[in-house]
């Protein structure tokens, strides 16, 4: 399995970090998790391209996770691709219907299949996936691809989500702000470290990084490390990880 971070940024993207997007690939299967601003550019830079993505799995519907969704539909139409499947939490169909109602000329350009999922197990893009509800300001799902890869989506850090991720070779977890930012719906390093304490996870990558985190990576890692002694690193755009 190959996991590529397309966008490790947030609703305030920087020149180095675009908005949310992660590619999961294995044996000819490809799933794009989230599709924030810049996802199409990163897809081209990754070598996969928008032609190579026929399945999108959404964690939730905040703009920084869906803003390139309709541009992806248009790019695939113009490139001669005839279908796209979009899978996400409840409300995903209404989201696509509303977007297409605004941009009427995009209706019926490709075979657009929309499927809504709830916490539990299901199949998407040829992968068996488990979903878990997170703690965020909109309904949001974390996703686990067997014992290899788990993505937290947007969420506060809490024991239930840490339990969901335990045993994963790779966990990509929201860590939006340093400790001195008063925030809800996202974790700080201290809260993330406390939640992960004692869990067995191969490696943790921090993502969904606001500009507030720039220049403060070391102190953030130290804060997590005061509670959790596992391997923790910062994800970077276009970074690819191979998982056996």
pLDDT at 107: 94
pLDDT at 100: 96
Give the structural domain span for 17: 2-242
The CATH code of the domain that includes 152 is: 3.60.15.10
Q: Exactly one of 34, 64, 154, 237 is catalytic; name it.
A: 64
User: 181 pLDDT band (50/70/90 cuts)?
Assistant: very high
Q: Are 168 and 201 in contact (CB under 8 A)?
A: yes
Task: Give the chain's domain count.
Answer: 1
User: 160 pLDDT band (50/70/90 cuts)?
Assistant: very high
Total-model pTM: 0.98
**How does pLDDT run across 189-213, given as a tens digit for each residue?**
999 999 999 999 999 999 999 999 9
Residue 237 annotated to the active site: no
- Average pLDDT score over residue span 109-135: 98
Calculate the alpha carbon distances from 223 to 72, 162, 170, 173, 219 in Å: 38, 17, 20, 15, 6
Give one word for 33, left, alpha or beta, with left for phi > 0 and alpha for psi -120 to 50: beta
- SS3 of the chain: the string is CEEEEEECCCCCCCCCCCCCEEEEEECCEEEEECCCCCHHHHHHHHCCCHHHCCEEECCCCCHHHHCCHHHHHHHHHHCCCCEEEEEECCCHHHHHHHHHHHCHHHCCCCEEEEEECCCEEEEECCEEEEEEECCCCCCCEEEEECCCEEECCCCCCCHHHHHHHCCCCEEEEECCCCCCCCCCCCCCHHHHHHHHCCCCCCEEEEECCCHHHCCCHHHHHHHHHCCCCCCEEECCCCEEEECC
**How does pLDDT run across 4-62, given as a tens digit for each residue?**
999 999 999 999 999 999 999 999 999 999 999 999 999 999 999 999 999 999 999 99
Sign, CA dihedral 24-151-42-236, equals negative
pLDDT at 7: 98
């Amino acid at each position: 399995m190959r996991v590529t971070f397309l966008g490790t940024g947030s609703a305030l993207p920087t020149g180095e970090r675009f908005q949310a997007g992660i590619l999961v690939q294995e044996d000819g299967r490809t799933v794009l998790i989230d599709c924030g601003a810049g996802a199409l550019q990163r897809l081209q830079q990754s070598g996969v391209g928008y032609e190579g993505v026929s399945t999108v799995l959404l964690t939730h519907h905040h703009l920084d996770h869906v803003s390139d969704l309709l541009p992806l539909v248009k790019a695939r139409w113009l490139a001669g691709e005839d279908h796209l499947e979009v899978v996400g939490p409840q409300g995903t169909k209404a989201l696509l219907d509303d977007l297409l109602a605004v941009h009427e000329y995009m209706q019926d350009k490709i075979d657009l299949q929309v499927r809504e999922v709830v916490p539990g197990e299901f199949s998407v893009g040829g992968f068996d996936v488990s979903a878990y509800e997170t703690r965020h300001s909109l309904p949001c799902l974390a996703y686990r691809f067997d014992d290899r890869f788990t993505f937290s989506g947007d969420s506060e850090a809490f024991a239930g989500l840490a339990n969901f991720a335990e045993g994963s070779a790779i966990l990509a977890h929201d860590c939006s702000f340093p400790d001195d930012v008063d925030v809800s719906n996202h974790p700080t390093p201290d809260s993330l470290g406390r939640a992960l304490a004692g869990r067995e996870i191969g490696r943790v990558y921090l993502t969904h990084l606001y500009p507030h985190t720039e220049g403060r990576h070391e102190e953030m890692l130290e804060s997590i490390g005061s509670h959790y002694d596992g391997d923790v690193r910062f994800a970077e755009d276009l970074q690819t990880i191979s998982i056996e």
